[in-house]
A and B are shown apart, each in its own frame.
Chain A
């Protein structure tokens, strides 16, 4: 009995450990919004078929993704919070930031729109109305790119959200999908990236109320984690992935991802201001 148990142990150990020993792969720390929009599910098989390099995406909030990279646990970061990314570079954890693509944020809310923000194109006006009406609003609260964009927009509206938040401001500390679930179940307003919204299936009573404002612009950037400060980083393979995603082929692939005929992300690697 003891012998068979030991054999089983050894066998399972081999199976578990050996499985990933052979293939070439990189680890990309990215955001839940990119994962949940389905972009990677579409993009990565194209890359993997061309290069035989597997891309393993760990999907976290932007803050957490950058932290994972700071610890050297990822080779590449692919997030959407420019300020945080530049801080990351300044700290010496990244090599160079390349703009990749953008999508936009949309203000989602209940169809019956108690705060009457719908139809407008001005996000600042809408946020002011929400705050005045103390309408229920769900925040990501998780240091993600979306969360940081939300905080920036409150600031742009002249609202000190830390001071005026009350029971109407629901700080959930969740990813985009769970936060949308929460908003749907309580009929609240929420800021979401368009990609996750388009892929989201549990909409309940929610719909897009405000969109198109330039300030709702959501830029994605990609960086190689610094192999000098983190020697375990797969420098060549990581750079190969970055090179592809900003290349015309990669950019075409990004533009090719659609849900119900609608494009989710707009490639803009050529835009040096992004």
Chain B
């Protein structure tokens, strides 16, 4: 397919050419998705771990809902956040619509369930082994949650990567709440969508290859860090 080879050439030209606009777009994509992941972890990891170590009425329902929300359609989240942040909406006075902050909010909402649901499973699987010993030592719920999260950190890395991947890959939410404004809220995925709709498929594919390369590089880096740390702590 000549489109593909054209795309590869475009990708190379983009990467090597060091186009400042492209750099801006890449940096914004990383800023938005990484910030969203951080927020999602701060909320999602303790949430998942707490559900994992607790017994309470309705727990099964909570687990099912968390799991189901992993599949939240990005465009639906985008629409809901748009209605929230619009001037006509409850949080309109904050003036956040069509800004990177709105994009961070939408993506954080999107990936928190993923982080929470998956960490719940990981912690719950390990809890059977840890429970008696931690309770014997006198650990209570909050301490147990923090201890479990830190002890399982190597298994949790892949969950964080999954969350980041989902954020970096989505276009529906950031398009609606960001508006794909040139130089302000244009990220890799919305740029690809724009070039596709303009019919410039090689450029769109080229951008896609650039995006994939970046995500691959990030995953490789995370793997190296995890491996080194794991060898130290076993």
Q: Which residues of A contact B (CB under 8 A)?
A: 1, 5, 8-9, 12-13, 15-17, 19-20, 27, 32, 35-36, 40-41, 54, 56-59, 70-73, 174-178, 180-181, 184, 199-203, 230, 232
Contact = CB atoms under 8 A, between A and B. Distances in A.
B39 A201 contact: no
A73 B100 contact: no
Given A15-B35, A181-B199, 4 more contacts: A16-B35, A56-B98, A177-B196, A202-B199
Contacts of B194: 35-36
B97 interface: yes
B87 A230 contact: yes
Given A56-B184, A57-B181, A17 B200 contact: no
Nearest to A176: B197
B178 to A, nearest CB: 9
B95 interface: yes
B32 A175 contact: no
B158 interface: no
B100 A175 contact: no
Interface string B185-227: 0000000001011111100000000000000000000000000
A58 B179 contact: yes
A199 B198 contact: yes
Nearest to A8: B38
A1 B150 contact: yes
Contacts of B87: 71-73, 230, 232
Contacts of B196: 177-178, 181
20 contacts: A1-B150, A5-B42, A9-B39, A9-B42, A12-B34, A16-B32, A16-B35, A16-B101, A17-B101, A19-B100, A35-B194, A56-B98, A58-B179, A59-B180, A71-B86, A72-B88, A73-B98, A184-B199, A200-B198, A201-B200
Given A72-B87, A200-B198, A9 B38 contact: yes
Interface of B: 31-32, 34-35, 38-39, 41-42, 86-89, 92-93, 95, 97-101, 104, 150, 179-184, 194, 196-201
Contacts of B99: 20
B184 A20 contact: yes
The 7 A-B residue pairs with the shortest CB-CB distance, nearest first, are A177-B197, A202-B199, A72-B87, A58-B179, A71-B88, A201-B199, A200-B199
Contacts of B179: 56, 58-59
Nearest to B181: A56
Given A20-B100, A73-B98, A230-B87, A12 B35 contact: yes
Identify the interface centre among B31, B39, B181: most chain A CB within 10 Å of its CB. Answer: B181
A28 B207 CA distance: 26
A202 B3 CA distance: 11
Identify the interface centre among A12, A175, A203: most chain B CB within 10 Å of its CB. Answer: A12
Given A8-B38, A41-B182, A58-B181, A73 B86 contact: yes
A16 B197 contact: no
B214 to A, nearest CB: 18
A232 B89 CA distance: 13
B176 to A, nearest CB: 10
Contacts of A200: 198-199
B100 A201 contact: no
Identify the interface centre among A27, A59, A180, A202: most chain B CB within 10 Å of its CB. Answer: A202
Contacts of B38: 5, 8-9, 12
Contacts of A40: 182
Contacts of B104: 16
Contact of A36 (B41, B184, B198): B198
Nearest to B153: A1
A9 B139 CA distance: 28
A175 B199 contact: no
A70 B87 CA distance: 10
A231 to B, nearest CB: 9
A8 B37 CA distance: 12
Contacts of A181: 196-197, 199
A177 B98 CA distance: 22
Nearest to B203: A201
Contacts of B89: 71
Contact of B97 (A59, A73, A184): A73
A177 B180 contact: no
A20 B179 CA distance: 15
A35 B42 CA distance: 38
Contacts of B180: 58-59
A200 B203 CA distance: 13
Contacts of A57: 181-182
